[in-house]
Amino acid sequence: MERDGTIEAIDFLLRPRSVAVIGASDRKSAMGNTVLQNFNRLKYGGTLYAIHPRHTEVEGYPCFPSVEVLPEPVDAVAIALSSEKVVPALEQAINAGARAAAIFASGFSEVSDGKELEEDLRLLCSKHDVKVVGPNCLGLLNVTTKMPLYSSALPDEMVPGNVAVISQSGSGCIAMICSGRFDFSFVVSSGNEATTTAADYVAYASRDDATEVIAVVAESIRDPHGFGEAADAALAKNKPVVVLKIGRSSKGMKAAAAHTGSLIGPFEEYRAFFEGHGVIVVDDLDELMETVDLFRRVRSLPTGDGVGLMNLSGGINALICDVADKVGVDFPLLADVTRTRLKEVLPDYASISNPLDGTGVAVFDMEMYTGALEAIAADPGVNLVGVSQDMPAGLDPVHIETARRVARTVVDAATRFDKPIFLITNVGGSVFDPAADILRAAGIPVLQGTHEGLLAIKHLGEYARIVRAGVETPPGPSASPVDEATRKEIRSLLSRNEGILPAAEAAKLFGVYGIEILRGTVVTDADQAVEAAGRIGYPVVLKVESSGILHKTEVGGVITDIGDEDSLRAAHSQMKDDVQRAVPGEKIDGYLVQPMVSGGVEAIVGSRRSDLFGSTMVVGPGGILVELLDSAAIALIPASKQSLSALVDETPLGKLLAGYRGVPPADRGALEDLLLSVGHLLSDVGDLIEELDLNPVSVLAAGRGVRVLDALVILKA
């Protein structure tokens, strides 16, 4: 497989037996000098050469005027030169036998006049099957093998660990390394990813024996298919992949014409992609660090969602409950047997709850503390055991002793139950290490900050559920009910049109997939409208028809529940005036008279074409609720009926369909059938469709089906 070959080639980057630093310098501020100092710090065991046209030695390493005169070919080179010198230097190194390179310089595709230079670099590497990290990066380091092709200063001591970091942002690497929280297997600052991408490094980490947790800071995913495969491989080996996706604000969204496009931005597409491959998504660096630290230290995955927490403060308990409710951490009610045991252990005035306030007495009575903690751990509804004990770095002597006493007691108690356990200190920032290290040495994670810590606990539960259930294998092309000949006809129909698909053609498209748009009659004046309503039967709906008007309600182009001829004539006159005022000069093609559909829950079903991930399916509350609730869920196509059905419950639509506040339940099954039909359509011809809206879709009472009241299809340019 091509990926296998790439992983083997990355060995020359992460495990080179010999390295040459091109651009070595004796100036302490120079990048080439920093790289050499890093080799000194990590005590690299391979062969290292410095390259400089005039020096014979730099930082204690032998120096040569060029790679061409080295006594042997090297596996990898670090190129500490400006961008215009990189390609010639790399070509010379390749000719001398180098198989990989770290390129630190900026000035490539991240700037407009550097794109051609990066393409030259890519072509050179492709021609000779050479892999590079970068350009525009800090490089990479393998802590396990003590090999730093890395251009930023490193700590004096780095102990090999179990966390791999892959970050397009160099600052992301610096933050993780300098946090003092982790020991790493390897760290990659991938930069522009000219030849190797995050997908390649995640795949490498999935096979790396030293790596147990994979942290990714991504600005984009250049190879979605490869990343998905790599994440699946990591999941199969129970190696969590935790991603911080940056660059997700609305400024990054392209303008969207249909409602669907305004509901779902690029980040929602990324989230759907990540979740489909068992990847945990976090929102900032603090959350990333707490989540990774919990994953790397926790002794086992919880077997369920229930968290039992021991605390010594009623006020902090209230805070924890507030935050837990916000982020979605479950503190189940304690079983009767647990409550009885706690009443035996704690003072009479103790309030028995979860989280548990062990009272101030337990601070000084470690036998009481131990009994309460063990009772919580034994509860059948508790799958993850927690202790809340603040340990900020500035503790006074009395509280230092308290922190140490609690830490030792927790470590001792944890030996008598096999459920995973953590401690959370509710203040972020630095902790009192002499107490925290007692816990860490026993394999007990110490989480910092109530909000970030509880988010990490939530993510641990999410990952445990994924591992227990297994991630749904992404389906192949959906089993469309439409035969090949008909699909070709539909593709031909769409290819003959551009922009907004005319209503008649849209009806043909949907009809092929068993999706019926509510029928009506297009008229040009009030008399024809009255005649059409007579055939349909009152009440009716009147809608403006114009290829230039996408959202009819916003210009007064929809009037509902018209009950008689006089009302219809008045509605027609009013609509003409309102539309002309709202969009002066816009060509009106006519007016659509449709039967009025009463009752039901309004939904939106739509799609937007993603440049990275292809067609997407979007579901949420519809009609006027689209703007009011601004809530929708997304899945990538192709998708199974099960995953499409799950979308419904990710928004308020699920509760609305179930019969909210006494309203009878709606026909959810019919809506799910509609989702599957739209999924078939998108699997077959979605590559030709930029955006699609079925809005509103009226989901009628159980057993009565759905009615698609309006449809919009915008074709891909």
* Domain edges within the chain: 1-295, 299-469, 519-596, 601-715
Q: To the nearest whole percent, how much of the chain has pLDDT over 70?
A: 95
Region 148-162: what's the mean pLDDT?
Answer: 95
- HSE-CB at 285 with a 13 A cutoff on CA atoms is 14
601-715 matches 519-596 in CATH topology: no
Which residues fall within 8 angstroms of residue 9, CB to CB, at 6 or more apart?
99, 100, 129, 130, 131
Q: Which two tokens stand for residue 268?
A: 């929602």
Q: Which two tokens stand for residue 59?
A: 């930082």
What is the CA 78 to chain-centroid distance, rounded? 32
The pTM (predicted TM-score) of the whole model is 0.88
Residue whose token pair is 């979007």: 618
Element of type H or E holding 206: helix 198-207
Region 368-374: what's the mean pLDDT?
Answer: 95
461 close to 302: Cβ distance less than 8 angstroms:
yes
Task: Please name the amino acid found at residue 416.
Answer: R
Name residue 639's beta-bridge partners.
Answer: none
- pLDDT tier for residue 482 given thresholds of 50, 70 and 90: very high
Q: Is the pLDDT of residue 485 over 50?
A: yes
The pLDDT of residue 627: 57
Taking residue 230's Cβ as centre, other Cβ atoms within 10 Å add up to 27
Assigned fold of 601-715: D-amino Acid Aminotransferase; Chain A, domain 1 (3.30.470)
Question: Top-level CATH class of 299-469?
Answer: alpha beta
The pLDDT of residue 681: 96
Q: Is the pLDDT of residue 6 over 90?
A: no
Order of strands, sheet of 61-64, starting from the edge strand that comes earlier in the sequence: 57-58, 61-64, 47-51, 18-22, 76-79, 100-103, 131-133
Query: Measuring CA to CA, which residue among 310, 308, 280, 274 is closest to residue 296?
Result: 280
Q: Which two tokens stand for residue 477?
A: 């092309």
Q: Where does 519-596 sit in CATH, by number? A: 3.30.1490.20
Whole-number Å distance between alpha carbons of 37 and 500: 61
549 close to 583: Cβ distance less than 8 angstroms:
yes
Region 297-310: what's the mean pLDDT?
Answer: 95
Model confidence pLDDT, tens digit, residues 94-128: 999 999 999 999 999 999 899 999 999 999 999 99
Whole-number Å distance between alpha carbons of 257 and 608: 10
Whole-number Å distance between alpha carbons of 575 and 9: 67
Q: Which two tokens stand for residue 146?
A: 């003590």
Q: What is the 3-state composition of the chain as percent helix, strand, coil, each rounded to the nearest 5?
A: 45, 20, 35
Whole-number Å distance between alpha carbons of 680 and 388: 50
The pLDDT of residue 264: 45
Whole-number Å distance between alpha carbons of 270 and 285: 18
Q: Which two tokens stand for residue 133?
A: 């990290």
Length of the chain: 717
Whole-number Å distance between alpha carbons of 421 and 359: 21
Give the CA-trace dihedral at 397, 403, 405, 410, to 10 degrees. -170
Whole-number Å distance between alpha carbons of 371 and 409: 10
Q: Which two tokens stand for residue 646?
A: 């799950």
Q: How far apart are the first and last CA of the chain?
A: 35
Residue whose token pair is 């410095």: 50
Model confidence pLDDT, tens digit, residues 158-191: 999 999 999 999 999 999 999 989 999 999 999 9
Region 482-493: what's the mean pLDDT?
Answer: 94
The CATH H-level superfamily of 1-295 is Succinyl-CoA synthetase domains (3.40.50.261)
**Of the given ranges (377-381, 478-482, 689-693), which has the lowest mean pLDDT?**
478-482
Q: Is the pLDDT of residue 258 over 80?
A: no
The pLDDT of residue 22: 97
Region 293-322: what's the mean pLDDT?
Answer: 94
The pLDDT of residue 319: 95
Model confidence pLDDT, tens digit, residues 634-676: 999 988 888 888 899 999 999 999 987 777 899 999 999 999 9
| 350 Ramachandran zone, left/alpha/beta (phi>0; psi -120 to 50) | beta
Whole-number Å distance between alpha carbons of 185 and 193: 20
The pLDDT of residue 640: 84
